[in-house]
Amino acid sequence: MRLAFFGGLYSNYLALEAAIADAKRRDVQKVFCLGDMGAFGPHPDRVVSLLRDADVTCVQGNYDDSIGNELADCQCGYTDPRDNLFAQISYDYTLEKTSPDHRRWLRELPASLDLERSGVRMHLCHGSPRRTNEFLWESTASDAFLDRLIEPTGAEVVLGTHTGLHWTRTTPRGRRFVNVGVLGRPANDGRTNVWYTLVDLSEHRAGAGPGVEVEFVPVEYDFGRLSDEMRQEGLPGEFVTTIESGWWTTCLEVLPSRERRRGRY
């Protein structure tokens, strides 16, 4: 069985369209989104319509909780005042442009999902199994910590997003954590594509454990059109630069040193 996962749409409806089409071409049987539909990009209603039309099963991110409940900010937890300034511009724009019907839909999304496919138990969350807005960075999550987080879920595979950077690890106890990446902005690698994740599951075989294959898939999309629309909507130029260059220009303060070094800024 082949499943597709993505998260962090950040209103990038063009990348979402491209990812859903790509997943269909690859015979994906079910598509999941792990939250944070809005922020950063233009016309936030468009991603929600696409998700609903394509019957994507969704988990709520911190942004969705904020927009759905019309909170004062996005609960992203940035520490740099500059990040918070840009985040607030983006948040106010997204809240204003999200229809009441879509706000209601975002509000009612579940904070997590448990499912079993091909005998593999999976736990879907946004940040971590214990907290929606917890950052699980590859370089700051010890093996022992991942095992402790995964244990109470009873799952063999835990999937999350939230940080914007995709990665996966199998722990010493044989459990798998997958950060499925984000479709909303590039992965701070100087490339304009974004990422989603394919998971191929096969039945347990005696002594072999669950068969779980994870593949990160690059998605090309019309980023020029997205950046034009971001400018037209008056969104911060720093965000547009990220879309056009592939380098993060904001939200850098929360990056651990290993992840920060890979970027330009």
Partner 1 sequence: MSIASTDPGQVSLAGLDELWFQVAGTRCNLACTHCFISCSPHNDSFGFLSMEVVRKSLIESVGWGVREYYFTGGEPFLNPDLVEMLVLALEYGPATVLTNATVLKDEWLERLRGAEEQGRYSLEFRVSIDGPDAATNDPIRGEGTFDRAMCGVERLVRHGVLPIITMTRTWAEADDQRVLSRFRDVLAQHGCDRPRLKVLPRLLIGAEAIRTCGYGKTDRVSARMLDGYDSDQLICSHSRTVTDSGVFVCPILLDEPSARLGGTLAEADRSFTLDHGACVTCYQYGAICTNPSGQSYEQMGGGAGGVAT
205 binds partner 1 (CB under 8 A): no
C-alpha–C-alpha distance, residues 61 and 76, integer Å = 10
User: Using CB under 8 A, which residues numbered 59 to 78 contact partner 1?
Assistant: 60, 62, 65-66, 69, 71, 75-77
Count of residues binding partner 1 (CB under 8 A)? 52
Cα torsion angle, 17, 22, 28, 29, sign: positive
Which position among 16, 48, 141, 230 is part of the footprint of partner 1 (CB under 8 A)? 141
Site string for partner 1, 147-186 (x = CB under 8 A): xxx-------------------------------------
Residue 132 corresponds to which tokens in the numbers above?
């929606």
Q: Which stretch binds partner 1 (CB under 8 A): 16-24, 110-118, 179-187, 193-201?
A: 110-118
Tell me what percent of the chain is helix, strand and coil, each rounded to the nearest 5. 35, 20, 45
Which position among 45, 119, 138, 241 is part of the footprint of partner 1 (CB under 8 A)? 138
- Least distance from partner 1 to the Cβ atom of residue 220, Å: 29
Contact status, residue 57 vs residue 32, Cβ threshold 8 Å: yes
C-alpha–C-alpha distance, residues 17 and 225, integer Å = 13
113 binds partner 1 (CB under 8 A): yes
214-232 CB burial, b ≥16 within 10 A, e <16? bebbebebebeebbebbee
Closer CB to partner 1, residue 15 or residue 125?
Answer: 125
Contact residues for partner 1 (CB under 8 A)?
57, 60, 62, 65-66, 69, 71, 75-77, 79-81, 107-115, 124, 127, 131-135, 137-145, 147-149, 252-261, 265
